[in-house]
Amino acid sequence: MKVKKIISSVLLTFSLLTGGLTQAKPVAAALDKQQAIDIIKQNDQTNGQLDFTVSVEPHLKKGRAIPATVFSLTGGFNQNVVHMSGYVPTAYVGKSKKIEFWADEKENRLYTYIGDQWEYQPLNSSRNDQLTSNIIKTSNFDQLLKNGKFSQQNGTYTLKTAANGNQAYKTGLKLARIASGVKFSKKELNYLNKYTKLGTIYATHRLQDDHLIDSKSSVKYVIIKVATVKMTFKVSHFGEYADLAVPMDVKKAAKPADIDANK
């Protein structure tokens, strides 16, 4: 799968998870668990910061490998725009290259910069709608929140949830396929089912008074005999990205992408 297509699917998913939010109901200063759940589900923050990190720990025959961050992106979102940027390693030791992405829902464009050139291509709204539908049908978000561990310390409330990765694996694979547009062959699917394992999916939501401070999720993906991949995703700094927009110099510099080359 090409890097651009992977990031396209990530950005589409972020847009879905952070968009279409409704206004939260006012609650008392002291929260109980159900009030916290209502705030999380009805979060009225329509803009904030995104942080996405992927680290890999190779499986060695001798000794223990040290996990290394191979992919790290940070940025922001609002109701119309998602932006993320970072660096990824190259084949040359000690060298890395810049990657940056802007997704603009109003323009229906995804701008990408990988190495030396800005390119743009259309966002797939029909695939976006299909992904939204499947997330709604397959997620068990309400039950996860109800079963979560609720605590309070110095005015900060925390709700921690955990989901069985093995149960979510097939659903996650289906959503990834829809988001990226990649169709796995029967041989590839057999390999994934036989040699990979998704660990427990953890999510932590922190609140103060009647609003959400941040949400962080993490999961470990084990490729048998090869490596363990850990992914973390955090949403924070709500309310600070309302004016986020694609810069004019990016629009002017971008050239149409060779979409066929990204398949």
Tokens standing for 193?
Answer: 């089912």
Whole-number Å distance between alpha carbons of 37 and 75? 26
* Per-residue confidence (pLDDT) for residue 7, from 0 to 100: 47
- Between 102 and 164, residue with greater pLDDT: 102
Render pLDDT for 175-192 as a digit per residue (tens, 0 to 9).
566 555 667 788 887 887
Is the model's pTM score more than 0.85? no
User: Cβ–Cβ contacts within 10 Å for residue 49, how many?
Assistant: 16
Tokens standing for 165?
Answer: 């990765």
Does the CA dihedral 9-10-16-19 come out positive or negative? negative
Q: What's at 225, amino acid-wise?
A: K
Render pLDDT for 119-136 as a digit per residue (tens, 0 to 9).
999 886 565 565 555 555
* Per-residue confidence (pLDDT) for residue 251, from 0 to 100: 94
State yes or no: pLDDT of 154 exceeds 80.
yes
Domains of the chain: 3-262 (2.50.20)
Give 113-118's long-range contacts (Cβ < 8 A, gap of 24+).
113/250, 114/3, 114/4, 117/253, 117/255, 118/250, 118/253, 118/254, 118/255
